[in-house]
Structure 1
């Protein structure tokens, strides 16, 4: 037998002094009487390279432990599997040491689980308090993942074990009840259904009959793959367009709020697939929630973390702080932040008379003029004539009349070529200028987060208690630390998702406010405003920053989360979520990239063309200065 082919059977025995429960006359140890039943149930789920952890309360003798271990060993050997047995004993003398001892042994058992393909934990005790403590520490210590199993053996009647229902229903656990009051041992196998108080008997065992199923439900059923009974789950959700939209209804007898959006369709599909009904509960503070400095959590995250809620709809951005409180499902969508600002009023650029020609054309024109004057001077020097009149080239550039001597044929040719170039250029300039005077420019100043931080007159609006807010509040460097300082300076205000329409209409539209929010949410807000007004009054920044993955959430270690994650993966891989988002949000892309220039037909005002008068005044001022210099030079 090689070490690789060997499986591991680990026996952890907790030897504690516990109150001895009354037993029937002549009754033996629980594990001794029902050891064959335990072996029969364990054999149905035994796999190669698996481990079995036996946990007792100290009332089971070492002889019985060895006998049952040998029985299980023979069962594994009969099925072609080989086990090796390791026994770890821990002794205590006081019931108060049970918690500490269990925590220590669970930690040891977890290390065994990490090197095993699967684990079956067997707890044997007639003490209901010990059974409850064992289940609590097995769950708290994360000894069991869903692929591992828990089997509890006891003589206590089912009516005395109701306090075990909560923990056993959330684990892959079964309860084996021994009844030997009549002198003939019989065992009943029960499974606790999650999110209900129902306990089902799925099998029975007797020495001469062996193990037999009493229903069509298998041992250790996949309770969370599809619920056997249709439970009612509590789901928390809040306004988060376009994922969740909340509308108040006028129906006094029915639900007060109506929920819609792509996430509600996900919830409906999950309810159909997992076989559950649901009721949606909104958080008291209307926020998604985060962890406070005192250790408590707010909003929907706090409700799920305290297990007041079975599932958080969200979707919620993944953060390390929230991951300490809740478990995330598979990602549903990824999103990032943009800046939403109000578009300014259409304006004419006062320097628009420079725009008909590109900067390169202006530069080439001036360079050509310099080259032309240089050429004329060189030709004059070569022909040994008087210095030519250079002013006529400037007069042609400014469309003024000029003349040239009839005996200077080369100068006529140079001037004629320059006049043709200037004719084409000036006609092109005047035509473009007429078109540009009808153009209105719409200012969109905040295209980057840096632009926003450098404008102290503008106030940023963020949603209250989101993953983004938690991120910049905990940043220790970079641009988001500057956002944190902006909050300290009073440049950030917070709103709830239900206040988006009011915020958009009363604050962002006219300024000096801008909204920093999710890209998908901003598209919906702009689309809704376009549907109401018929025009695009807002713009979004070119820069996208702070990307996040969004998921649903569940309580810590909840087996419901993996079941939901599997179905969310199906939904996203099939493209259903993107399809629902596009079908539910009309006009969401109409105003995504609105034009920054528009053409109008109206008269021009002085405020539109004051740039030309600046040039006029500057030219006259410069001419006056030159005149003064000429007079001064002549006088000297």
Structure 2
């Protein structure tokens, strides 16, 4: 320290000691990095460079140190083997990410599983489950296995920037072919059938009333019984023509409008029925959360989901809207939780349930199990990013991000911006597709010949009509005998 001639001012030179090894000899050196002064009761410092090196330099080389990471067997992102009571990586998208970071930063790693087998989420009672809990309690250096970045999780751990993005969908059993016993009724909805029956019943008396008004006004001398008019109206609906000799123009015009209506209805019915009969028809699939709620109300359909995942949290914490409806009507606390992804997809085949997970997972896992057995909903929701979870305040998180993605346009080791993660995802899909037998593709929709099961309802209506006619005949005989 050097004292100046002025007693109110002191100046101190700040030096940084550098320890280096040159030719196997330990060398200590100092370099001036700034100065500090005290003048008139105020302190001032002037630094020409940082005293402490930036984290990217400090943690740019781990020197071969072993890091411990939490993970779960979650193909295609993580594939692990088991030996001596532990696990070891055998492949997967996240393993490729981790291997790239480890090679670049010069560290090795050892993987462990969470005791509860869950991804993890902070609970209201303060406990934190799964891999997130292990990272939050500093039991591991990082957690990696398709972990979604959420606001709730970021209160207890620090995430790297996302290295992959996806959205959530619903996977259920492939719709079965509809039974054809009532195929002749398929062309029109229930409301249309009701309206047609009402029109056929009403139009006969309406035309008859019109004819009577015309006759009483001395505009026509034609007289027909109500039964004749009603039967002619029914004949027209069956495209059987008309036997009434009509001379009045207004009455002819009324019947002409009715004929046109009947021709249009007949053409629509015939064409639509043909399409329904020769092309297989299927049950309505679950395409959206709205479909899921409707099916839950109608038939007890439930959702299945892994516990303490981001997908469960958005449904459970919703206070209004479709997410709350799904939680209220489709979630069963005794049946909806599954232990693994495999259980979710298995239950989708054996129960009336839909498994909620990311679209990529749905595509690749159904491809392996037999894509024709499943139906993946067309609507996706809850877009999300996946990151590496680190303990809060981890100094190496930023260093991990320099490998995942960098702000520098000249960086050559950015996994996300360089498209490497997307390529690894595509490679897994291609590998799974090539290993899947062609026989798993399922039957294609082909034109089918009309068989007896297509016309069951027609024969049933014929039998019902004859039975009704026989019952009426029997009743008329009894009334005649009673007179």
Normalised-by-shorter TM-score class: 0.5 to 0.7
Does the 8 Å contact 1:330/1:566 carry over to 2?
Answer: no
Describe the SS at the equivalent of 1:522: helix
Match of 1:273 in 2: 104
One of 421, 428, 436 as aligned partner of 2:276: 436
Cα separation, 2, equivalents of 1:418 and 1:294? 72
Match of 1:536 in 2: 372
One of 331, 342, 356 as aligned partner of 1:501: 342
Deviations 1:121-163 (CA, angstroms, capped at 9, x unpaired): xxxxxxxxxxxxxxxxxxxxxxxxxxx96x5xxxxxxxxxxxx
Matches within 5 A, 1:5-154: 36-38=14-16, 44=33, 69-70=36-37, 85-86=42-43
Match of 2:4 in 1: none
Question: Is 1:524 equivalent to 2:364 in the alignment?
Answer: yes
Describe the SS at the equivalent of 1:315: coil
Match of 1:261 in 2: 92
Match of 1:306 in 2: 137
Question: Is 1:581 equivalent to 2:402 in the alignment?
Answer: no
One of 490, 495, 498 as aligned partner of 2:333: 490
Match of 2:67 in 1: 233
Deviations 1:346-367 (CA, angstroms, capped at 9, x unpaired): 1235543244479999889998
Cα separation, 2, equivalents of 1:552 and 1:412? 80
Cα separation, 1, equivalents of 2:317 and 2:80? 34
Match of 2:307 in 1: 464
Please report the TM-score for the alignment, with normalisation by the length of structure 1.
Answer: 0.53
Question: Is 1:341 equivalent to 2:175 in the alignment?
Answer: no
Match of 1:211 in 2: none
The structure-2 alpha-carbon separation of the partners of 1:445 and 1:329, relative to structure 1 and needing over 3 Å to count, comes to: same
Does the 8 Å contact 1:441/1:596 carry over to 2?
Answer: no
The structure-2 alpha-carbon separation of the partners of 1:119 and 1:341, relative to structure 1 and needing over 3 Å to count, comes to: farther
The structure-2 alpha-carbon separation of the partners of 1:610 and 1:281, relative to structure 1 and needing over 3 Å to count, comes to: same
Match of 1:291 in 2: 122
Structure 1 gaps of 5+ residues are 1-31, 47-67, 74-82, 88-117, 121-147, 152-172, 174-218
Aligned CA RMSD, in angstroms, stands at 5.2
The structure-2 alpha-carbon separation of the partners of 1:441 and 1:551, relative to structure 1 and needing over 3 Å to count, comes to: same
Deviations 1:533-559 (CA, angstroms, capped at 9, x unpaired): xx5122233443444332111121112
Please report the TM-score for the alignment, with normalisation by the length of structure 2.
Answer: 0.68
Match of 2:352 in 1: 512
Does the 8 Å contact 2:187/2:269 carry over to 1?
Answer: yes
Cα separation, 1, equivalents of 2:380 and 2:180? 28
Describe the SS at the equivalent of 1:317: coil
Cα separation, 2, equivalents of 1:401 and 1:299? 76
Deviations 1:219-275 (CA, angstroms, capped at 9, x unpaired): 668435631634333232213344x142537xx699954432322222232233333
Match of 1:553 in 2: 389
Deviations 1:191-235 (CA, angstroms, capped at 9, x unpaired): xxxxxxxxxxxxxxxxxxxxxxxxxxxx66843563163433323
Describe the SS at the equivalent of 2:452: coil
Cα separation, 2, equivalents of 1:416 and 1:488? 57
Cα separation, 1, equivalents of 2:367 and 2:46? 54
Matches within 5 A, 1:152-171: none
Cα separation, 2, equivalents of 1:255 and 1:517? 27
Does the 8 Å contact 1:442/1:597 carry over to 2?
Answer: no
Matches within 5 A, 1:557-636: 557-569=393-405, 570-586=414-430, 600-601=448-449, 603-605=451-453, 609-610=456-457, 613=460, 617=464
Match of 1:386 in 2: 222
Cα separation, 2, equivalents of 1:536 and 1:477? 35
The structure-2 alpha-carbon separation of the partners of 1:358 and 1:571, relative to structure 1 and needing over 3 Å to count, comes to: same
One of 245, 248, 253 as aligned partner of 2:81: 248
The structure-2 alpha-carbon separation of the partners of 1:43 and 1:85, relative to structure 1 and needing over 3 Å to count, comes to: farther
Deviation of the 1:320 alpha carbon: 3.1
Match of 1:324 in 2: 155
Cα separation, 1, equivalents of 2:303 and 2:260? 56
Cα separation, 2, equivalents of 1:271 and 1:413? 87
Deviations 1:469-491 (CA, angstroms, capped at 9, x unpaired): 34444445555556666799634
Describe the SS at the equivalent of 1:70: strand
The structure-2 alpha-carbon separation of the partners of 1:228 and 1:552, relative to structure 1 and needing over 3 Å to count, comes to: closer
Deviation of the 1:308 alpha carbon: 2.8
Cα separation, 1, equivalents of 2:338 and 2:253? 74
Describe the SS at the equivalent of 1:440: coil
Does the 8 Å contact 1:462/1:492 carry over to 2?
Answer: no
Cα separation, 2, equivalents of 1:355 and 1:493? 34
Cα separation, 2, equivalents of 1:501 and 1:431? 44
Cα separation, 2, equivalents of 1:394 and 1:290? 68
The structure-2 alpha-carbon separation of the partners of 1:605 and 1:350, relative to structure 1 and needing over 3 Å to count, comes to: closer
**Number of aligned residues:** 427
The structure-2 alpha-carbon separation of the partners of 1:558 and 1:529, relative to structure 1 and needing over 3 Å to count, comes to: same
Cα separation, 2, equivalents of 1:513 and 1:360? 30
The structure-2 alpha-carbon separation of the partners of 1:384 and 1:525, relative to structure 1 and needing over 3 Å to count, comes to: same
Deviation of the 1:422 alpha carbon: 5.9
Describe the SS at the equivalent of 1:37: strand
Cα separation, 2, equivalents of 1:562 and 1:576? 20
Does the 8 Å contact 2:311/2:356 carry over to 1?
Answer: no
- Does 1 or 2 have the higher relative contact order (CA < 8 Å, sep 6+)? 2
Does the 8 Å contact 2:122/2:128 carry over to 1?
Answer: yes
The structure-2 alpha-carbon separation of the partners of 1:41 and 1:330, relative to structure 1 and needing over 3 Å to count, comes to: farther
Does the 8 Å contact 1:340/1:514 carry over to 2?
Answer: yes
